[in-house]
């Protein structure tokens, strides 16, 4: 009996998948465990395995198409078996999709002007071997991507595993592959420009294929958003100004290794001014390290003839000549999403704040003793994270999320740790933190921090938090309030440990105090609930031995 293959749910947030690549075609034999296709989800590209033995009788989804979870994508059965009855039963007696005609019988693009009026689709192009590469959804919060770098230009040969471009999302810079063989016929988004998810990035197909009719239906290629020179009036040039010849076509494409690019960015070096020593003039690490910029010409001091000073009793005010100047930079994808999500959080969720002082004398003594035996150095942040995880198990109302028509009370404890990076803020998640040791938590947080700053985090690293911690104590901040990271109901802001006079047993003595502030979503957490949580946290940190029980 024919078996219907449906799009599986490959992650907890997945609602649809993009068919990145088929490894089987109609008529191929498959066995249970064979990889049938690669599916791009909201978090990663994953293999789709067969659970049946037989022959592929039907494929209902073309490469590059987006498919909802549980939609029919293929049928497997015995060779020659009539699969239409099973397909019709699954699709509600709908007629199965007509099989595409062989490529050799497809009408050439030149003869499709009449079809253009009705609209040439991606499927029409695929019949003649042309593939449309669209902007993929690379994270759950992504709405658009900026082309950071093109690795191919129009006319270049492309293989299905070649990296076409680097795309800057709201969270990281990621590589986009073409999943097609042929020639790069069209680039729809210039370097530095943004494209919406599912917008046309490029078109790959046989060399010389005419795609003009298809392009007439879409928008013109996107231009870099930050380039506004064309809109500005042309200023009259000074007589002594030097004119510079326009660069030759394609000269703005600099060949450099990823390491060289990163070092050049850190040092503020323009790669266009660096001579490459590797094959084809490619710039490598040693070229950046040995680069010496030409000394800038010292500006000539302006001379002015001053009139003879007249004797006067008035105070002489010296003349000071300054220059007004500023620098503007385009907003990064990460900063755009931070602005959007936190604005929505602050103006949608009714925040209130609870601040508490915690005596850290016991924690300081315990940390010193723990680090004599711990395989990795334990920080105060690690101790706070462990204490928060234990307190959340005792106060599940704080470990919750507002979902509009219902409240989700999470039984697992996944704590997001805010990490500052160059372009903004990332919040990697320590999963099941209540069950991990201090050494385990410390090693995991250090690894997250290193990968965040190197832009090596993956979407699965920052998704799924149930509570968030933001620590600015190491920057000398005594206390602050933080904006809730949705969909969490609370975020804990941690200040530094300050040496202050405290009263103990009726006497004023030196003490070490840390202030924490809990930001709460009042739709989920009330004042008494948040206060009880802080009291438990305070007790755990003031008597750290309770963290080990």
CA–chain centroid gap for 545, Å, is 39
Alpha carbons 191 and 518: distance in angstroms, whole number = 43
488 near 498, Cβ under 8 Å?
no
Contact residues for 533 (Cβ-Cβ < 8 A; gap 6+): 391, 392, 395, 398, 490, 518
Alpha carbons 352 and 532: distance in angstroms, whole number = 15
Q: How many C-beta neighbours within 10 Å does residue 10 have?
A: 17
467 near 398, Cβ under 8 Å?
yes
* Beta strands across the sheet bearing 182-187: 131-134, 200-205, 182-187, 157-158
Phi, psi angle pair for 442, to nearest 5°: -60, -45
R_g of the chain computed on alpha carbons: 31
Length of the chain: 549
Element (DSSP H or E) covering residue 397? none
67 near 97, Cβ under 8 Å?
no
Q: Measuring CA to CA, which residue among 110, 132, 120, 155 is closest to residue 204?
A: 132
Q: How many C-beta neighbours within 10 Å does residue 546 have?
A: 13
3-state secondary structure 52-69: CCEEEEEECCCCCCEEEC
522 flagged as catalytic: yes
Element (DSSP H or E) covering residue 368? helix 361-370
257 near 281, Cβ under 8 Å?
no
Question: Would you name the residues annotated as active-site residues?
Answer: 522, 526
């Amino acid at each position: 009996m024919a078996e219907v293959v449906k799009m599986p749910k490959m992650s907890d947030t997945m609602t649809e998948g993009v068919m990145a690549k088929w490894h089987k075609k109609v008529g191929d034999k498959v066995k249970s465990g064979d990889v049938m296709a690669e599916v791009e989800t909201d978090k990663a590209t994953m293999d789709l395995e067969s659970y049946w033995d037989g022959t592929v009788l039907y494929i209902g989804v073309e490469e590059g198409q987006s498919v909802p979870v549980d939609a029919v994508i293929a049928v497997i059965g015995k060779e020659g078996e009539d699969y239409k009855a099973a397909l019709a039963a699954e699709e509600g007696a709908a007629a199965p999709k007509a099989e595409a005609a062989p490529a050799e019988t497809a009408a050439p693009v030149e003869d499709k002007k009449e079809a253009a009026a009705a609209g040439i689709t991606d499927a029409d192009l695929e019949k003649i071997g042309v593939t449309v590469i669209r902007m993929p959804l690379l994270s759950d919060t992504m709405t658009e991507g900026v082309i950071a770098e093109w690795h191919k230009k129009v006319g270049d040969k492309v293989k299905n595993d070649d990296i076409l471009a680097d795309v800057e999302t709201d969270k990281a810079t990621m590589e986009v592959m073409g999943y097609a063989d042929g020639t790069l016929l069209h680039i729809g988004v210039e370097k530095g420009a943004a494209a919406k998810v599912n917008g046309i990035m490029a078109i790959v197909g046989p060399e010389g294929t005419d795609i003009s009719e298809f392009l007439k239906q879409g928008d013109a290629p996107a231009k870099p958003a930050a380039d506004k020179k064309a809109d500005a009036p042309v200023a009259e040039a000074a007589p002594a100004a030097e004119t510079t010849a326009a660069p030759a076509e394609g000269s703005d494409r600099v060949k450099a290794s990823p390491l060289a690019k990163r070092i050049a960015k850190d040092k503020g070096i323009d790669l266009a001014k660096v001579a490459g020593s590797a094959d084809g003039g490619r710039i490598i690490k040693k070229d950046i390290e040995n680069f010496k910029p030409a000394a800038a010409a010292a500006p000539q001091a302006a001379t002015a003839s001053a009139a003879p000073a007249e004797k006067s009793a008035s105070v002489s005010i010296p003349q000071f000549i300054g220059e007004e100047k500023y620098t503007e930079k385009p907003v990064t994808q990460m900063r755009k999403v931070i602005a959007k999500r936190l604005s929505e959080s602050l103006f949608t969720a009714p925040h209130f704040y609870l601040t508490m002082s915690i005596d850290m004398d016991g924690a300081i003594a315990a940390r010193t003793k723990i680090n004599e035996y711990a395989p990795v150095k334990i920080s105060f942040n690690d101790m706070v994270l462990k204490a928060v995880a234990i307190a959340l198990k005792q106060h599940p109302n704080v470990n919750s999320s507002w979902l509009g028509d219902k409240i989700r009370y999470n039984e697992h404890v996944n704590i997001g740790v805010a990490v500052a990076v160059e372009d903004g803020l990332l919040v990697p998640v320590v999963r099941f933190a209540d069950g991990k040791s201090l050494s385990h938590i410390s090693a995991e947080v250090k690894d997250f921090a290193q990968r965040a700053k190197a832009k090596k985090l993956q979407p699965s690293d920052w998704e799924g938090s149930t509570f968030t911690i933001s620590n600015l104590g190491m920057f000398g901040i005594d206390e602050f309030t933080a904006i809730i990271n949705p969909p969490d109901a609370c975020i804990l802001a941690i200040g530094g440990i300050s040496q202050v006079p405290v009263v103990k047993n009726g006497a004023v003595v030196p003490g070490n105090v840390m202030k924490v502030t809990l930001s709460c979503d009042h739709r989920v957490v009330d004042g008494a609930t948040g206060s009880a949580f802080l009291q438990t946290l305070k007790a755990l940190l003031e008597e750290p031995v309770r963290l080990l029980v």
